[in-house]
Amino acid sequence: MKRVKYILVVLISLFCIIAADAAKVSMQVETPRGKRSIGVGDTFWISVKLTDVDDKLSQPSNVPGAKIVYFSQTGRSSQSTIVNGNFSHTTSVTYTMTLKAEKEGDFKFGPITVDGIKSNTVSYSIGKEDPTLSQPGGQSSSSQDSQNGPKFIGKGDDKLFLRAHVSKTSAYEQEALVYTIKLYSSYANVKYVGAASAPTFDGFVIEESKTNTIQLDYETYNGKTYATAEIARYIIFPQVTGDLKVLGNTYTISVNAHEYYSDPDWGRMTINRPVKLNVKPNDLVINVKALPSPRPANFSGGVGEFNITSSMSNTNLRTNQAGSIVYTVSGTGNLRYIKLPDLKNIYPQQIEVYSPETSENVSISSSNTTGSIAMDYSFMPLEVGEYDIPKVELVYFNPSTSKYETKTAQGYHINVSKGEASAKSQSRDRIEFDSSLIAFDGKSSGRQLIVEGFAYWLWYILPLLLLIVTLLIRRKQLKELSNIDLLKSKKANKVAQKRLKKAEACLRNSDVDKFYDEMLSAIWGYLGDKLRLPISDLNRDNIRQKLNEVGVNDSVLDNLISLIDECEFAKYSSQSGKENMASVYSHGCEVIDTIENSLKNKVK
């Protein structure tokens, strides 16, 4: 009996020795791709492989000279073999630490103990930072949290980031600048890109460009190839001088990350794991210079390159007959902010000039605003004679030459002949009295004077009341017309319906990209006009808050946000198709009608 116990003890000990020999923990250092050494700011990896170890590896508390950015299990494999009738089975699990080098020097890490089994020790050296290695925004990776570096939130890393760029970092006030945001990604697939808010442009007037298209391209940056796409473009006009800061906004981006597994039967396998990232582009500082002094007295406020022309259909007029002259300003720059000289001060005194009617034909290109603005001035000659309508000068500042330049519109010579009298010169009508209606002697006629009757005074009271009511209505209309935001709010639904009709046409033509552009334009345009919000304040949080304040139900708000997310997903995702276009269109019509009815009921 003792001999049997002895044999069992020996067998158990032998089995433990064999198991201990089979179990293994090994570590390996991987340097940055394309580099033989590690520099401060570089990303490198330490992989830990557990072979036939039952326990799991926990994240180490620290690694000398580096910061642990991310720790996860990155691989698992198993292998079974039969040799001469002997069966053996081996399993291995790999963990990877993503590290950011922070200090110079020679370092060692390990050994680590897992389930009582010690690993080897790895050695690595961290050298000086590579001056040619810079992160998005022009800064090195060691200063990526600084003002001009990219900001990674959550699980963001150098596999995906945003870069903000401006066409000029030093410009004149009112000069057009192009601000763009570009996405860089080395992930397998970008499924969704959505902005949680708009960039902060303090001290700028903003025109969002619609010419950018979400089209993937490939670009080599810092020795690594990324898939890139321009996801936003704005034309901005600085309004004040000094150093103005543009703060990047947060984007939510969904991607697929590869995970690799080794299977004894199928070999190396890849599995896509969805990852959600919140990433900000770098902030920018723009130095805005004041326009040179002294400014010309008749400076129009225009900054860019412009021309001015004039046209007049008829130079032979009559007194008290309205004439018209059109001044057209064309070119590139801040067209909407140009003002012509006051024509009342330069036209002859015998000509009365009225405020112009302005029509715009301005488009936002990839680099500026361009087009023309026509100002139609009506005037009326008051006296007979020949008069010269002077030339009109347009004085603007050209940032290309850094000088004030002048363009001139043609003048005209007009002949004024006698016309019909105006209301001001019309003579008063005579009032004839029928003497038979008036009794000069109260005894000779028993009839009452007609001026003493109520019907007589009613003819004066009614026109007066009608005039007062007309003036009040007209005053209200002028007040509403002067309030552009109120006017846009009232016409928001009408404008949205026109945009939805364009989307319906795209639906019939199966134009997927343009369909989702029109749907988003209809939704965001309606919300911006209805709630009187500028483009810079249009985001999901502001929309939800404003609609809650006016009493729109949470269920309607959830439908609205769901619709926006669905449209943006379909627009920016390569997997978007035609099958959802009809449901998205009907959903959009329903949501806008529901919000419109809710707001009308609230007003009632």
pLDDT, average across residues 537-550: 79
SS3 breakdown of the chain: % helix, strand, coil, rounded to 5?
25, 40, 30
Residue 268 has pLDDT above 70, yes or no: no
CA distance linking residue 284 with residue 179, whole number of Å: 10
Between CA 43 and CA 45 the distance in angstroms is 7
- The CATH code that applies to domain 141-289 is 2.60.40.10
Q: What is the pLDDT of residue 17?
A: 43
Between 565 and 426, where is the model more confident? 565
Question: What pLDDT was estimated at residue 481?
Answer: 58
Distances (CA, A) of 420 to 117, 337, 383, 384, 385: 112, 39, 12, 12, 15
Q: Between the CA atoms of 245, 251, 255 and 259, what dihedral angle is there, to the nearest 10 degrees?
A: 60
The pLDDT value given to residue 215? 64
Lowest mean pLDDT among 159-168, 191-200, 429-438: 429-438
pLDDT of 174 > 50? The answer is yes
213-255 residue pLDDT tens: 556 778 888 878 888 888 888 888 898 889 999 988 888 888 7
pLDDT band at 11 (very low <50, low <70, confident <90, very high): very low
Name the average pLDDT for the chain.
77
**CATH 2.60.40.10 placement within the chain:** 141-289
CB 186 within 8 A of CB 225: yes
Residue 98 has pLDDT above 60, yes or no: yes
Q: How far apart are CA 228 and CA 160, in angstroms?
A: 10
Torsion of CA 63, 96, 187, 266, to 10 degrees: 170
Joined together, the tokens standing for residue 216 give: 């993937």
Position 314 scores a pLDDT of: 87
Specify the CATH number of the domain 486-603.
1.20.120
Model pLDDT for residues 477-506, shown as the tens digit of each residue: 776 655 555 556 667 777 778 888 888 888
- 11: part of which helix (H) or strand (E)? helix 2-22
pLDDT digits (tens, 9 = 90+) for 433-469: 444 444 444 444 444 455 556 777 778 788 888 888 8
H or E element that contains 466: helix 454-482
What is the percent of the chain where pLDDT is above 90?
15
List, by residue range, all CATH 1.20.120 domains of the chain. Answer: 486-603
Q: Give the right CATH number for 299-417 from 2.60.40.740, 3.40.50.2300, 3.10.580.10, 1.10.540.10.
A: 2.60.40.740
Q: Which of 281-290, 422-431, 524-533, 550-559 has the highest mean pLDDT?
A: 281-290
Question: Is the confidence at residue 395, as pLDDT, over 90?
Answer: yes
What's the pLDDT tens digit per position in 284-342? 999 999 999 998 988 999 999 999 999 998 889 888 888 899 999 999 998 888 989 88
Res 130: pLDDT: 64
pTM above 0.85, yes or no: no
Q: Could you report the per-residue pLDDT of 12-32, keeping only the tens digit for each?
A: 444 444 444 568 899 988 887
Q: Please state which CATH number belongs to domain 22-127.
A: 2.60.40
Q: How far apart are CA 557 and CA 77, in angstroms?
A: 48
Q: Which residue has the higher pLDDT, 138 or 499?
A: 499
* Backbone angle region of 360, left / alpha / beta, with phi > 0 → left and psi within -120 to 50 → alpha: beta
pLDDT of residue 336: 84
Q: Which residues of 254-276 are buried (b: 16+ CB within 10 A; e: fewer)?
A: bbebeeebeeeeeeeeeeeeebe
pLDDT reading at 188 higher than 80? no
Phi/psi at 387 (nearest 5 deg)?
Answer: -135, 150
Q: Is the pLDDT of residue 426 over 70?
A: no
Quote the pLDDT of residue 209: 62
Report pLDDT digits (tens) over 48-88.
Answer: 988 888 888 888 888 999 988 777 777 777 776 666 666 67
pLDDT at 109: 92
The span from the CA of 382 to the CA of 349, in Å, is 9
pLDDT over threshold 60, residue 350: yes
Report phi then psi at 42, rounded to 5: -75, 155
